[in-house]
Chain A
Amino acid sequence: MRESTAWYLFLLAGLVIFVLLSIHMAIMHLDSILLAMGMGYENVLKFESVFARGKQVFFMVMYILLLGAALYHGLYGLRTILFELNLKKGLQRVITVVFLLAGIGLFVFGAYAAIAAYQMKMI
């Protein structure tokens, strides 16, 4: 992939995260304010509510999208910082490959968790 394509994907991922993470943060951390305004969810961290959210298609899809966008944005951002240290070409290539594999690994694990939570049955 051309570096400029990767860079624009980084910006695009940032915008996707802006929208989805704003929703996530509002639900999880502005819950009391939202409840006072007649919106949002109660007891957001109780297992029952975590379970109930995981069973909804909207949240399952949102978690996987957020996971992918945030991993790409975060790891590309860290790669940018490291590349500014004037590293040798070989080391740059190692970093790219390691980050790519780590990103794919974390994505597979996180997406598996989101799908497994979606298919879970209440005990």
Chain B
Amino acid sequence: MEEKKGYRNKLGLMGWLSGGRYGIERYAYTLHRLTGLGILTYFIMHIFVTATRVQGQEAWESIMSTLEKPFFKIGEFLVFVAFAYHALNGIRLILTELGVFMGKPQLPVYPYKQSTLRQRPVLIVVMILAAVVIVAGGWDFFFLK
């Protein structure tokens, strides 16, 4: 039998995409970073696009006529979805960071409750809220215009 030479301590793409044994919070974390990067990219373009209003009505209307196309509308909705997720998940992260809803510190005497499980109800609540915001946004984006 051929012996393996060393152990390649790299998970590759799986390290990014798989939550492994960390549970749902790990996926929440990956999604938080992805949405954050997406929003930052949009935001920097947004600064330049909205600044065209200073050049007057014609400049504004010419750029807006391009951005009215379906490709950009769908992109804009994706930014809205990313915003809803990132904002509400971010509130959960700040609450967890500051120890809100995490209970009093206690000795780890068996059977104890893990901290991830203590904050999980908050995760469920913020995800429901995010879903509501996304549905309201989708309704407004695609059905009320």
Q: How far is the CA of A30 from the CA of B33 in the complex (A)?
A: 25
Dominant SS at the A interface? helix
- Contact code string B50-86 (vs A, CB < 8 Å = 1, else 0): 1101101100110010000000000010001001000
Residues on the B chain within 8 Å of A21, using CB: 83, 87
Chain A residues in 8 Å Cβ range of B141: 29
CB closest residue in chain A, given B44: A106
Mostly, the B contact residues are: helix
B136 to A109, Cβ gap below 8 A? no
* A25–B39 CA distance with the chains assembled, in angstroms: 13
Are A117 and B144 in contact, CB atoms less than 8 angstroms apart?
Answer: no
**Complex alpha-carbon distance, A51 and B140, angstroms:** 23
A101 at the interface (CB under 8 A from B): no
**Taking the complex as formed, is A18 at the interface, i.e. its CB lies under 8 A from any CB of chain B?**
yes
Q: Indicate whether A123 sits within 8 Å of B94 (C-beta atoms), given known contacts A29-B137, A29-B140, A74-B36.
A: no
A47 touches B60 (CB 8 A): yes
Q: Are A30 and B137 in contact (CB under 8 A)?
A: yes
CB distance A77 to B51 under 8 Å? no
Report the tally of A-B residue pairs with Cβ distances under 8 A.
74
Contacts of B43 in A (CB 8 A): 70-71, 74
What interface size band does chain A fall in?
35 or more
Asked if A104 is an interface residue, CB under 8 A from chain B, the answer is no
Flag whether B3 is at the interface (Cβ < 8 A).
no
B24 contacts A by Cβ under 8 Å: no
Are B61 and A67 in contact, with the CB atoms below 8 A?
no
Using CB atoms, name the residue of chain B closest to A122.
Answer: B57
B83:A50 contact, CB within 8 angstroms: no
Task: Name the residue on B nearest A12 (C-beta).
Answer: B94
Q: Is the CB of B47 within 8 A of A109?
A: yes
Give the residue among B56, B140, B141 with the most A Cβ atoms within 10 A.
B140
| A–B pairs, 28, beta carbons within 8 Å | A11-B94, A11-B97, A15-B94, A21-B87, A22-B87, A29-B140, A29-B141, A30-B140, A32-B140, A33-B140, A47-B57, A47-B61, A50-B53, A70-B43, A71-B43, A74-B39, A77-B36, A78-B40, A81-B37, A106-B44, A106-B47, A109-B47, A109-B51, A110-B51, A113-B50, A113-B53, A113-B54, A120-B54
Contact residues of A with B, CB < 8 Å? 11, 14-15, 17-18, 21-22, 25, 29-33, 36, 45, 47, 50-51, 54, 67, 70-71, 74-75, 77-78, 81, 106, 109-110, 113, 116-117, 120, 123
